[in-house]
Amino acid sequence: MNMKNGLICLLIVAILTICMPNVAAASTSKQTTEIHSGYVMDVPAKEQPMLVILLDDNATYVNQSVDIYGLLATGSPSAPHGIEGATVNIQRLNYDRTAWYTIGNLTTISGGKQAGFFRGTLTLKNPGVYIYRATYDGDSQCAPAVSNEVTLRVYSRG
């Protein structure tokens, strides 16, 4: 792992530790009861994953690329366990700030020390202020999740 990736990992763990102190308590394996066609069964509760995104820079110029990256994991913030091969939706808030729409999907890394990490590139053609977040639809073991929001300011050149 190079120095930049090591710093990114450390930054994500620090953000998880500060922003999500109650995640470990929320991810206990409680059971719920569901009724199906006249019979009752116990269903284990889904784990609440942690989802965080970051930008390489919070300001850029038109047509200049900026990396957007993050982590999808379960466990505690101090010892996250990356969710491998999951689809993370990258969303942008619309201009009148009333709705989110998906601009693309990224897949988390499988295997190794970077399991659960994802990375993509944003290149904007118009100046303005853009707000992004990541979402995860969940699966058979994990509940859906929504990340923090990040803001990117795009300036025109000259």
- Predicted confidence (pLDDT) per residue in 74-121, tens digit: 988 888 899 999 999 999 999 899 999 999 999 999 999 999 999 999
Which residue reads 């944003």 in tokens? 122
Is the pLDDT assigned to residue 150 strictly greater than 90?
yes
Which residue reads 């792992």 in tokens? 1
* Cβ neighbours for 114, distance < 8 A, ≥ 6 positions apart: 1, 5, 9, 82
Per CATH, the number for 3-25+39-155 is 2.60.40.10
In angstroms, the CA 127 to CA 131 distance is 13
Is the pLDDT assigned to residue 8 strictly greater than 70?
no
Question: What's the chain's average pLDDT?
Answer: 83
Q: What is the pLDDT of residues 13-36, one digit of tens each?
A: 555 554 554 444 444 444 555 666
Q: Provide, rounded to the nearest whole percent, the portion of the chain with pLDDT above 90.
A: 62
